[in-house]
Amino acid sequence: MISSKISRRYAKALFGIGREDGNYETYGKCLEEFARFCEENENFFKVISSKIFSTEERIRVLEAVLAKSDFPDVVKNFLRVLLDKDRIGAISGIAQHYRKLTDEVSNITRANIITARPLKQEALEELKQGLEKLTGKTVVPDVSEDDSLIGGVVVKIGDMILDGSVRAQLEGLKESLKRGEYS
Amino acid sequence: MSRDKGLLRIYKKTLLILGTLFLVWAPTAWLWAAEHGGEAAAHDGGAATKDLIARCINFGLMVIILFVVIRKSSMKDFFSSRRESIREKLDELKRGKELAENRVKELEQKLKAFEEEKKRILEQFKAEGIAEKERIIKEAKERAKQILEQAEFTIQREMDAARGRLRQEVAELATKKAEEMISKEITDKDQEHLVSEFIDRVEKLH
C-alpha cells in the first residue's frame, strides 16, 4: 500500500511540470483516463503493478498500451517512471491528488450529490448555483442515486456534508425521541 | 534510784490505806462491840472488849509482818519487773495501737481514694458508654440514611434506565414505522419539494 504522502509527492511533481508548460489540465485528464483504464482492466493493472513480473516485462505491457494512447510524452514518461520506481500501483491516488491540485488552481470544487430519486436538470442547476455561492468556487457536480435516503438529497464537498435527506430527518427525530424531547 | 523512790511511795500509800482502814474499822467495831457488848456485859463482863483488842493487835502485827516480809522478799523486784513489763507491754500496745490507727487511717484514705477512683472510673465508663452509644446510634442513623439514599438512587437510576430503554424502543419503532410509511407514500413531487427546501437552506447558509 503506497501512502498518500508519496502519491501527493508524485502528483505535485507532474503538476509542477504541467504548470510550467501550461498543460496541467491535459496531464490531469490523461492521468484520470489512465487510472480509469486501470480500474476497468484489472488484469492489466495487476500485471504492471505486480513484482511477480520483471520490470522489462511490465514496461513492455505498459508500452503496448501507451502506444495506442494519445497521451503527451510527459505523461508517458511519468507513467514509465512510476513503473520503474514501483509506484504505478498508486496511480489512482496520484490522479486524485493531481485533480485536487488542478481544482485548486482552477478554483473548482467537486460536489458529490447523492439523491434518493433522479434530479431534474433545473433542480440540479439551482443546487449547483447555490453550492457555488456557498463555496465561492465553481462546483463540478457528481450525481449518484441512493434510495436508502428515502427522499431528499445529500451533498458532500470536501469535508463538508449537507444532509437534506428524509433518512437524516428521521434519524434526528429518533434521537430527539430517545432524548425525550417530545415527551 | 527513781525506781526505789517509786517503791517507797507505793509502800507509804499501802500503809496509809491500811491505817485508814484500821481507823475506820476500829470505831465501827468499837461501837458494834459497845452495842452488843452491853447486853453481853450483863452476861460476860468485858470479855468481848478484850477479844477485840486482841484482834486489833493481831491485825497490826500481821500488817507489820507483811510490811517487813514484803520489804525483805523479792516481791519488790517481781512487782518492779512486772510493772516494767506491763509498761513495756503498754508502750508496745500503745505503739501497736498507734500503728493500727495509722494503718486504719491509711486504709481509710486508701479506701476513700479507691472509692473516689471507683466513682471516677464508673463515671468515666458511663460517659464513655454514653458517648459510644451516641456514636453507634449516630453511625447507624448515618448508615441507614446512606442505605436509603443509595436505594433511592438505585431505584431512580433503574427507573431512568428503564424509561430510557422504553424511550429508545418507542423511538426505534416509531421511526421504523414512519420510514415504512414515508417510503410507501413519498412521490416525485415530495422529492422535488424536499430538494427545493434543501436548495433554499443552502442559499441561506452563505
Among B183, B186, B199, most A C-beta atoms within 10 A, so best to mutate, is: B199
Q: Does B121 touch chain A (CB under 8 A)?
A: no
pLDDT in tens, B167-178: 889 889 999 999
Q: For residues A87 and A120, state if they share a domain.
A: no
B173 three-state secondary structure: helix
Under the banding of pLDDT at 50, 70 and 90, the label for residue A183 is low
Please state the ipTM of this predicted complex.
0.72
Residue B147 is predicted with a pLDDT of 95
Range of the domain at A125: 109-179
Among B169, B189, B198, B201, most A C-beta atoms within 10 A, so best to mutate, is: B198
Under the banding of pLDDT at 50, 70 and 90, the label for residue B36 is low
Q: Does A2 or B163 have the greater pLDDT score? A: B163
Interface size, chain A vs chain B, as Cβ–Cβ contacts under 8 Å = 82
Q: Taking the CB of residue A8, how many other CB atoms lie within 10 A of it?
A: 19
Strands laid side by side in the A138-145 sheet: A138-145, A108-115, A153-157, A160-163
Q: Does B8 touch chain A (CB under 8 A)?
A: no
Closest alpha carbon to A71 in A19, A18, A107: A18
Q: From A104, A124, A143, give the residue that closes a domain.
A: A104
Residue A12 is predicted with a pLDDT of 94
Residue B195 is predicted with a pLDDT of 92
Q: For residues A69 and A140, state if they share a domain.
A: no
Q: For residues A145 and A170, state if they share a domain.
A: yes
Q: Minimal Cα–Cα distance from B152 to chain A, Å?
A: 22
Count how many Cα atoms sit within 13 Å of the Cα of residue B111 in the half-sphere of its side chain: 6
Q: Phi/psi zone of residue A86: left (φ > 0), alpha (ψ -120 to 50 degrees), beta?
A: left
Where residue A94 sits, what CATH number does that domain have?
1.10.520.20
Put simply, the answer to whether B171 touches A155 (Cβ < 8 Å) is: no
Domain boundaries, chain B: 1-73, 164-205
Residue A2 is predicted with a pLDDT of 58
pLDDT in tens, A101-150: 998 888 999 999 999 999 889 999 999 999 999 888 999 999 999 999 99
d(CA A165, CA A144): 14
Residue A162 is predicted with a pLDDT of 94
Angle between helices B188-205 and A121-135 (to 10 degrees): 20
Q: From A77, A104, A131, give the residue that closes a domain.
A: A104
Q: For residues A79 and A10, state if they share a domain.
A: yes
Q: For residues A10 and A100, state if they share a domain.
A: yes
Under the banding of pLDDT at 50, 70 and 90, the label for residue A76 is very high
Pairing status of strand A153-157 against strand A108-115: antiparallel
Q: Is the pLDDT of residue A40 over 90?
A: yes
Q: Decide: A103 and A73 in contact? Cβ < 8 Å.
A: no
Residue A176 is predicted with a pLDDT of 87
Residue A5 is predicted with a pLDDT of 87
Residue range B33-50: average pLDDT? 62
Q: Taking the CB of residue A12, how many other CB atoms lie within 10 A of it?
A: 15
Q: Is the pLDDT of residue A72 over 70?
A: yes
Under the banding of pLDDT at 50, 70 and 90, the label for residue A4 is confident
Q: For residues A49 and A14, state if they share a domain.
A: yes
Q: From A50, A83, A104, give the residue that closes a domain.
A: A104
Q: Is the pLDDT of residue B155 over 90?
A: yes
pLDDT in tens, B99-151: 888 889 999 999 999 999 999 999 999 999 999 999 999 999 999 999 999 99
Q: Count up the domains in chain A and report the number.
A: 2
CB within 8 Å of A25: residues ≥ 6 apart? A18, A102, A106
